[in-house]
Structures are given as C-alpha cells and as structure tokens.
C-alpha cells in the first residue's frame, strides 16, 4: 500500500477534527466525551504524521500549541451561543490544524530560521491566544471565578504561547524564559485592565491579541536583526488602527 503524502494526511486530520467540532456544537453525544475524543484524535494524527515517539522532548514541546488551540476551541463551543460565530471559529481552527500538520519540520536550523517567515505559526498562536483569553474572560464574567486563579491561567497561557513561538524559531537558552516571562506579565496587566471593563468579552480578547501582535512582531524583528524605528512605528500604527476598529464596534 503506497504511503500517503503529508498533505493528504494533514487534510484527513483537519477534517476529522472539524467533524468532531461539528458534533460538539449539536451535542450529538456527551460534550465531555467528544471533547476527550478530539484530544485523542489530535494526538493520534500528530503521531501518525510526525512519525516519532510521543514521549520525546521535542515532540512533547511541538504539540503544546495545538493542544492549547484545541482546548480553547472546545471551551469556545461550550460558552458561545452564536452559531455563525462558532462555525467561523471552528473552520478557522481546523484550517490552523491543517497548517500545523502540514508543516511539522520545525524548528529549523538557526541559520534557516532567521530567513524563514512564520506567518502560519503566528496565525495559530493568535487564534489560540484569542480563544484562550476569551475563555478566561468568560470564566470571570459568567462563572465568577476568583481573579487570582484567572491571573495564573492568563500568565501560564501567555508564557506557553511566547515560549513556543520562540522555540519554533530555534531560540534557546535564557532568552526564552526571559522574554516569555516579560510578555506574559504584559498580557497579564492587559487582562487586569480588561477585567474592570464591563463590555462583551470578545472585543476585550481581541484587544489582548492586538497587544500580543505588537510585541511578538517587534520581538520577531529583533531576533531577525532587522529592528528599526520605522518598522516599530509600522507595527504600532497597525496595532492602534486595529484597536480603534475593535473599540468602535463595541456595543456600549
């Protein structure tokens, strides 16, 4: 039997996860049961496509971001009532899983990592961050969980996402925990500000992702050695315009 190309395997994996998401929406069976099945499917397809033992350190690190995306998508389906919004998110999330499955040959060498763009990885990171922050904000305003617990969640999620992005860019040593801790604290401060703002959690989560976009973009420029004042201003202006668009659309 001929071996399936990685692209075909990636499509099969992404569609299978999309089907599980659809079944979760309509509560065809136990929500918890389908949620567990989604995690099993993700790990199974990952091992099938990666062709490496799951318990290796590099493999365990590589699956962290997809696991965050999967968990946050399942939580989004649980909390969100707008069916059209849910469909948009699960389609985008499934597309991100396809991108991940089809691009498993990372981290690259340090030399190649500097010249390669990681737009696909940043897209996954932004979506995972948006859904994760939205989940935490929903816990705050719907479940009324203690703020200290949610602060720990935001810090942990932010740290893991930043550390993953740096690791995928072949960055090692003290730079990873240093920058990851710094940016996690910045996002924690953003969360604390948002927690006092009595509006819908979606725009607040988007604003936190815009903060992530700005600092991640500047960090990427720094790591590539192409950080200039002009490029910082470009990222800053883009972030400000995006934030204004989000604020304008808020229902006060």
Q: Tens digits of per-residue pLDDT, 43-78? A: 888 888 777 766 677 778 888 999 999 999 999 998
Distance CA 244, CA 247 (A): 5
Reply yes or no on whether the pLDDT at 86 is more than 90. Answer: yes
Pair 38, 119 in one domain: no
Pair 118, 83 in one domain: no
Pair 93, 4 in one domain: yes
> Which pair of structure tokens corresponds to residue 192?
């604390």
Pair 196, 165 in one domain: yes
Task: Please return the burial class of 120, using the count of CB atoms within 10 Å of its CB with bins 0-12, 13-18 and 19+.
Answer: middle
Quote the pTM value.
0.89
User: What's the distance, CA 164 to chain centroid?
Assistant: 10
- Sequence-distant (≥ 6) Cβ neighbours of residue 13 within 8 angstroms: 41, 42, 45, 46, 48, 49, 97, 98, 101
User: For the segment 178-218, what is each residue's pLDDT rounded down to a tens digit?
Assistant: 888 988 999 999 998 888 888 888 999 999 999 999 988 88
Pair 31, 71 in one domain: yes
User: Which spans in 103-228 are helix H?
Assistant: 110-115, 119-141, 147-168, 175-195, 201-224
Predicted pLDDT at 40: 87
Predicted pLDDT at 160: 93
Give how far Cα 65 sits from Cα of 46, 151, 187, 241, 243, Å.
12, 20, 17, 28, 25
Q: Which of the four pLDDT bands, split at 50, 70 and 90, describes residue 219?
A: confident
> Please, are residues 41 and 70 in contact by the beta-carbon 8 Å criterion?
no
Instruction: Select from 37, 64, 98 the last residue of a domain.
Output: 98
Pair 136, 251 in one domain: yes
Identify which of 118, 219, 218 has the alpha carbon closest to the alpha carbon of residue 169.
Answer: 118
Pair 91, 114 in one domain: no
Instruction: Select from 98, 128, 150 the last residue of a domain.
Output: 98
Pair 125, 183 in one domain: yes
What domain range is 62 assigned to? 1-98
Reply yes or no on whether the pLDDT at 241 is more than 90. Answer: yes
Into how many domains does the chain fold?
A: 2
The angle that helices 31-50 and 83-102 make with each other, rounded to 10 degrees, is: 20
Pair 231, 116 in one domain: yes
Instruction: Select from 98, 133, 148 the last residue of a domain.
Output: 98
Reply yes or no on whether the pLDDT at 252 is more than 70. Answer: no
Pair 58, 126 in one domain: no
Predicted pLDDT at 94: 94
Distance CA 66, CA 129 (A): 11
User: Average of pLDDT values for 222-229?
Assistant: 76
Q: Which of the four pLDDT bands, split at 50, 70 and 90, describes residue 1?
A: very low
Pair 141, 252 in one domain: yes
Q: Which of the four pLDDT bands, split at 50, 70 and 90, describes residue 251?
A: confident
Pair 4, 80 in one domain: yes
231 upstream amide cis, omega within 30 of 0: no
User: For the segment 116-155, what is each residue's pLDDT rounded down to a tens digit?
Assistant: 567 788 889 999 999 999 999 988 887 777 888 999 999 9
Identify which of 78, 101, 105, 88 has the alpha carbon closest to the alpha carbon of residue 16.
Answer: 101
By percentage, how much of the chain surpasses pLDDT 90?
35
Q: What spatial distance separates the first Cα and last Cα of the chain, rounded to whole Å?
A: 60
Q: What is the largest CA-CA distance in the chain?
A: 60
């Amino acid at each position: 039997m001929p071996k399936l190309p990685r692209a075909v395997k990636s499509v099969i994996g992404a569609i299978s996860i999309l089907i599980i998401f659809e079944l979760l929406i309509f509560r065809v069976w136990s929500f918890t049961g389908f949620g567990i099945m989604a995690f099993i499917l993700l790990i199974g397809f990952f091992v099938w496509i990666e062709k490496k033992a799951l318990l290796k350190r590099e493999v365990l690190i590589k699956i962290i971001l997809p696991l965050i995306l999967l968990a946050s998508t399942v939580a989004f389906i649980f909390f969100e009532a707008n069916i059209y919004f849910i469909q948009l998110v699960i389609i985008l999330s499934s597309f991100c899983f396809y991108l991940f499955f089809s691009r498993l040959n990372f981290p690259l060498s340090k030399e190649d990592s500097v010249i390669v763009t990681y737009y696909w990885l940043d897209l996954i990171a932004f979506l995972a961050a948006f859904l994760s922050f939205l989940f935490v904000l929903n816990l705050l305003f719907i479940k009324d969980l203690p703020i200290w617990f949610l602060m720990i969640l935001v810090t942990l999620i932010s740290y893991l996402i930043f550390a993953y992005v740096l690791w995928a860019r072949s960055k090692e040593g003290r730079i990873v925990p240093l920058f990851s801790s710094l940016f996690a604290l910045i996002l924690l401060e953003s969360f604390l500000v948002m927690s006092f703002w009595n509006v819908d959690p979606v725009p607040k989560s988007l604003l936190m992702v815009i903060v992530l976009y700005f600092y991640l973009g500047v960090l990427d420029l720094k790591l590539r050695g192409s950080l200039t004042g002009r490029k910082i201003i470009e990222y800053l202006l883009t972030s400000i315009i995006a934030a204004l668009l989000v604020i304008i659309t808020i229902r006060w």
